[in-house]
Amino acid sequence: MTPPDRTLYTWSAQAGLDPIEIVAAAGARFTDAQGRKILDLASFALNASASLHHPRISDAIARQAAELPAAAPGMSTAIRTRAGEALASVTPPGLDRFLFTLGGADANEHAIKIARMVTGRPKIVARYRSYHGATAGALAATGDPRRHPFDTVLPHVVRVLDPYCYRCPFGWTPDLCRRPCIDHVEEVLGYERPDSVAAILVEPVVGTNGAFWGPPEYLSRLRAICDRHGILLIADEVLTGFGRTGRWFGFEHFGVVPDLIAMGKAITSGHAPLGAVAMTESVARHFDTHPLVTGLTHTAHPVSLAAAVATIDVMKDERLVERAARLDRTLAERLAAIAARHAIVGDVRSLGLYGVIELVKDRDTREPLAVKDFARKALERGIHVATRFNYVFVAPPLCIEEGDLSWGLDVIDALLSEL
């Protein structure tokens, strides 16, 4: 890379790192420095969901930058009002009050703060296979191994086991399951005293820890538990919000409405940094008479809000959420066919345009098969994929053509044969 790159890259040891250099993007493809057109089955970082580069979103950013590029977080602006109305048009009725943040991690962190302020309770219940972001507080509420260097940052976090049916932590099989994953939550609450718990924080559809979700009634029973004990339910929709699963938000598949939603990533289709916390009127009403003791300098940044408004408009006009729902069957059928052909595929799961291939050394023992060099080999063949642990994710921009999706899965299929 010339001139020498003096920046640090996250989640990586810098020695020997050779990041791909990209120079342009459009639709579901980006162009690298060698001029190759790469089909992106990862939507950059699972955030560029509407498009890797959409002219309408870029134009909205340019217009806002020319008109009013900055404002203090305590100031009212026209674009702030428009962004609130745009979000209210896609969130469930009654979940139409918003705090804008800088991204998904601090959206989760602000949701935790809000829950503690509103309830006056200290504890947050999260799950072991969760990931809620890389800021100190969000990472401490996270369950996966990325939290380990920072475990002592956020007190009063209680963790419960996940509803991971393929790897049921309770040892049940689907045909005999009596939903111990749900009973387990209530049992832990009993040990912790429910009246000390402010909120339960969950990814309705799990992100980078496996793209799974619980039994059909898991969230509804969790909702009932929260209502019974005066606990707030926070849905982390940072990765799955804005059409990824074929609905605007993942929790909509399960007929449940949370008290707060943490949003980020695709809220601007990756065109600008932004997050948000949606909350019910009853939660927001607390701050009519109590200060909202939180905030950041670039909260409700005008340029980012313009990107969000344009993104929502594009998704509606191009019917991208409906497109993800329509391609749900295509992705599910192709993943099932891949699983049938390869003994190293233990399970496949998908919802909308969000899928995962889980690799195993042996289907009987389900011992994980670590993904090594898969992403690099995929890139050499013209596709960009996200991998982690023993997972290969399929999460392209929602604008992807069905033929391109099929071709990308053909490449993955061929690479699995080499494994």
| Residue where a domain terminates, one of 283, 317, 351 | 317
Angle in degrees, CA 107, 185, 105, rounded to 5:
15
Work out whether strand 29-32 and strand 22-26 pair parallel, antiparallel, or are unpaired.
antiparallel
> Which pLDDT score, from 0 to 100, does residue 16 have?
85
For residue 396 the two structure tokens come to 């392209």
> Do 149 and 247 belong to one domain?
yes
> Do 305 and 326 belong to one domain?
no
Most distant CA pair in the chain, distance? 63
| Mean pLDDT, rounded, for 136-144 | 90
| Mean pLDDT, rounded, for 223-245 | 98
> Do 303 and 409 belong to one domain?
no
> Do 300 and 412 belong to one domain?
no
Burial 264-278 (b: 16+ CB within 10 A, else e): bbbbbbbbbbbbbbb
User: pLDDT digits over 384-402, tens only?
Assistant: 999 999 999 999 999 999 9
User: What value does the mean pLDDT of the chain take?
Assistant: 95
| 231: Cβ contacts below 8 Å, ≥ 6 apart | 119, 125, 189, 194, 197, 198, 199, 200, 225
- The parent domain of residue 327 ranges over 319-418
CA 391 to CA 75: how far, in whole Å?
44
For residue 92 the two structure tokens come to 């469930």
> Which pLDDT score, from 0 to 100, does residue 4 have?
66
The distance from CA 374 to its chain's CA centroid, rounded to whole angstroms, is: 22
CA 150 to CA 162: how far, in whole Å?
22
Cβ burial, residue 36 (10 Å; 0-12/13-18/19+): middle
CATH of the domain at 254: 3.40.640.10
Domain count, the chain: 2
In a domain, 334, yes or no: yes
Dihedral (CA of 277, 258, 217, 246) sign? negative
User: pLDDT digits over 93-108, tens only?
Assistant: 999 999 999 999 999 9
| Mean pLDDT, rounded, for 76-98 | 97
CA 260 to CA 279: how far, in whole Å?
4
| Mean pLDDT, rounded, for 71-91 | 98
| Residue where a domain terminates, one of 258, 293, 317 | 317
CB atoms inside a 10 Å sphere around CB 391:
19
pLDDT at 135 over 50: yes
| Mean pLDDT, rounded, for 130-147 | 91
> Do 304 and 363 belong to one domain?
no
For residue 293 the two structure tokens come to 């003791």
| Mean pLDDT, rounded, for 196-212 | 97
> Which pLDDT score, from 0 to 100, does residue 393 have?
98
User: pLDDT digits over 345-374, tens only?
Assistant: 999 999 999 999 999 999 999 999 999 899
User: pLDDT digits over 313-342, tens only?
Assistant: 999 999 999 999 999 999 999 999 999 999
CA 276 to CA 103: how far, in whole Å?
7
> Do 333 and 273 belong to one domain?
no
CB atoms inside a 10 Å sphere around CB 76:
8
Confidence of residue 155 (pLDDT cuts 50, 70, 90): confident
Closest to 86 (Cα-Cα) out of 304, 251, 332? 304
CB atoms inside a 10 Å sphere around CB 338:
20
Length of the chain: 419
> Do 141 and 285 belong to one domain?
yes
> Do 309 and 334 belong to one domain?
no
Confidence of residue 1 (pLDDT cuts 50, 70, 90): very low
CB 145, CB 160: distance < 8 Å: no
In a domain, 19, yes or no: no
In a domain, 18, yes or no: no
> Do 265 and 336 belong to one domain?
no
- Written in H, E and C, the secondary structure of the chain is CCCCCCCCCCCCCCCCCCCCCEEEEECCEEEECCCCEEEECCHHHHCCCCCCCCHHHHHHHHHHHHHCCCCCCCCCCHHHHHHHHHHHCCCCCCCCEEEEECCHHHHHHHHHHHHHHHHCCCEEEEECCCCCCCCHHHHHHCCCHHHHHHCCCCCCEEEECCCCHHHCCCCCCHHHCCCHHHHHHHHHHHHHCHHHEEEEEECCCCCCCCCCCCCCCHHHHHHHHHHHHCCEEEEECCCCCCCCCCCCCHHHHHCCCCCEEEECHHHHCCCCCCEEEEECHHHHHHHHCCCCCCCCCCCCCHHHHHHHHHHHHHHHHCCHHHHHHHHHHHHHHHHHHHHHHCCCEEEEEEECCEEEEEEEEECCCCEECCCCCHHHHHHHCCEECEEECCEEEECCCCCCCHHHHHHHHHHHHHHHHHC
In a domain, 326, yes or no: yes
CA 309 to CA 82: how far, in whole Å?
7
> Do 365 and 286 belong to one domain?
no
> Which pLDDT score, from 0 to 100, does residue 153 have?
74
